[in-house]
Structures are given as structure tokens and as C-alpha cells.
Chain A
């Protein structure tokens, strides 16, 4: 009887030990899963964001260098003779880079490549800034509309809400630099395609102005609304003249690099 009790107790101990081991392993698997999910979030919102932000910057500088033939070192002052009607770049094929976006308010060395198209996979999740097909090109009368991520994937437009009246928005293409001046912000529903009209929010009206429109998501880390930034064309700087003085530092870095 005593022997039997001892054996039974040992068996019970063994079973309890095995059970606690199984529970322990399941617990460790769950904890590991949680840590991996947190790591993924950190990767997506911070690490991969930094990696893409850097690669977009490098891609923009490489684009600018490929266009530069030494003109970038000249700094063109704000007051100067009228450069005349701006040249308009031909519409490129989908996912082809045709320009760079330079916004001093977004950082002294801020430059991002602009590709044709707004596909997430081929443009926005890698390249950074995409041009809405069917909207006008830089310098053209009408609406030059761009889209980019606000948070993650390099977050090209993270500071779009910090633009202030009169801030410069430059578009550099092979032909030169187009200067737009920031005018206003607007918040619309994700379906608000009126912002892409040649005269924004005025469907069917013939445009006379040259507008730039930046679209991104709002609020931060959400997709429930869209934030829209409008700018108005001011002037352009043909490549043969040199870069505008405001971004000449950036241009000189590129020329040197």
C-alpha cells in the first residue's frame, strides 16, 4: 500500500512535470510571436522607413547629377529677367523617374525622386513620390498632382502639414527648376478626386493657372482622410541659367558629389 502510494505519487509528479513543460513551451512560443510582431512594427515604421528615406534621397541626387552639366554651381538670384514660358517635359512611361521634389521646409537636404504613376508596389512603396497619370506636368497650365506616403516607406510627405504660406516647392527636371509657392492645405475624403481637377475642386473649368497638388494620408498612421497641399506656380529656372539661389547649396553638393 505504501509502495503503491509512492509509485502513484511519482507518476503524478511526472505527469504534472510534463504538463507544466508543455504549457511552458506554448507560453514561450506565444511570447516569441509577440516579440516578432513588435519587431515587425519597429521594422516597418522606423527601420525600413529610414532605409527607404535614405535610398530615395540617394536616388534623387543621382537623378540630379545625371542632368547636371556644371550649371548647378551657378546661383541664380530671385530678381532677374523673365525666363519666359516654361518648358514642359513629355509624359514618361509608368514608374519612370522624370523629376525630383525639393522642399526647403522639409529639410535643407530634402530631395525625392518623382516617378510617373501612383501604384503602391511599383512607385509609392519604393520610389517615394508618384505623379497622378492624366494630371499635368511641371510648368504646364493646369494641375501637377503628386502623391506620397506620410508615415512609413520613407515618409516623403511627413511634414506636409508644416508648410507655410509662401514656402517654396521646387520641381527639378532635366529642363531646369520650377518654383511653386505653397498656398493652402485642404482635408478631403479618400474619394475626393476633385483635388486632381485642372482647377482643383472646379470640375470642367478651363485652367489658366499652374497649380501643384500634393496628396497624402491624414491623420498620421491612418488612412481615413487625405491631406492636400496646394501651391501656385511662380517662375522657372532653365537649366542653362543655373539653380535658384535658395537651393543652390543642394545643387552645389550634387555637382561636387
Chain B
């Protein structure tokens, strides 16, 4: 999968490295900004109060 993606990238090696880095940074940003805050609701809530059983 990643090998195929790498072959899809155009240009010489250094251009491919730059494009791959930008893509990776974009994916990480998307994860941190949207995916992780959304996914947090599915983790067990950390109760810190007394009263819940």
C-alpha cells in the first residue's frame, strides 16, 4: 500500500520526500485537530468525583 503510494508520487527523490512529509504532517494535523477529540468520547470516562456508583 505504502509502496504503491510512493510510486504514485511524481518527481525526483527529493520532491517525493517533501511531498510525503507534507502529506504525513497533514494527516497528523487532521488526527490531532478532529479525529482524536472526536474519538475521546468512546474512551472510558475518567470519573474524579465521589457519588457515582
Known A28-B2, A43-B36, A47-B32: A217·B50 in contact at CB below 8 Å: no
**Which chain B residues border A44 with CB–CB below 8 Å?**
36, 40, 43
B32, A191: Cβ atoms under 8 Å?
no
Among A43, A47, A147, residue most surrounded by chain B Cβ atoms (within 10 Å)? A43
* Cβ contacts A204-220/B at 8 Å (1 or 0 each): 00000000000111000
Grouping DSSP codes into helix (H, G, I), strand (E, B) and loop, the B interface class, with mixed when no group exceeds half, is: loop
- Asked if A185 is an interface residue, CB under 8 A from chain B, the answer is no
Question: Which of B1, B44, B51 has a CB less than 8 Å from the CB of A28?
Answer: B1
Separation of A204 and B28 alpha carbons in the complex (Å): 54
Q: Which of B1-51 contact A (CB under 8 A)?
A: 1-2, 28, 31-32, 36, 39-40, 43-51
* Cβ contacts A80-124/B at 8 Å (1 or 0 each): 000000000000000000000000000000000000001010001
Q: Tell me the number of A-to-B contacts counted with CB atoms below 8 Å.
A: 69
- Asked if A149 is an interface residue, CB under 8 A from chain B, the answer is yes
Nearest CB to that of A47 among chain B residues? B32
B49, A215: Cβ atoms under 8 Å?
yes
Question: Which of A29, A43, A118, A152 has a CB less than 8 Å from the CB of B49?
Answer: A118
A195, B45: Cβ atoms under 8 Å?
no
- Asked if A188 is an interface residue, CB under 8 A from chain B, the answer is yes
Nearest CB to that of A156 among chain B residues? B48
B51, A40: Cβ atoms under 8 Å?
no
**Which chain B residues border A39 with CB–CB below 8 Å?**
28, 31, 36
Nearest CB to that of A124 among chain B residues? B48
**Which chain B residues border A47 with CB–CB below 8 Å?**
32
A152, B50: Cβ atoms under 8 Å?
no
Separation of A147 and B31 alpha carbons in the complex (Å): 30
**Which chain A residues border B52 with CB–CB below 8 Å?**
190-191
Question: Which of B31, B49, B51 has a CB less than 8 Å from the CB of A36?
Answer: B31
Known A39-B31, A47-B32: A191·B49 in contact at CB below 8 Å: no
Nearest CB to that of A217 among chain B residues? B48
Separation of A190 and B31 alpha carbons in the complex (Å): 33
A223, B46: Cβ atoms under 8 Å?
yes
B51, A120: Cβ atoms under 8 Å?
no
Rounded to whole Å, the gap between the CB of A145 and the closest CB of chain B is 9
Separation of A191 and B51 alpha carbons in the complex (Å): 5
B51, A193: Cβ atoms under 8 Å?
yes
Among A149, A226, A228, residue most surrounded by chain B Cβ atoms (within 10 Å)? A226
Separation of A157 and B36 alpha carbons in the complex (Å): 23
**Which chain A residues border B48 with CB–CB below 8 Å?**
124, 147-150, 157, 215-217, 223, 226
Known A43-B36, A48-B36: A223·B53 in contact at CB below 8 Å: no
Separation of A48 and B35 alpha carbons in the complex (Å): 13
**Interface residues, chain A, with chain B CB atoms under 8 Å away:** 24-25, 28-29, 36, 39-40, 43-44, 47-48, 118, 120, 124, 130, 132, 147-153, 157, 188, 190-193, 195-196, 215-217, 223, 226, 228
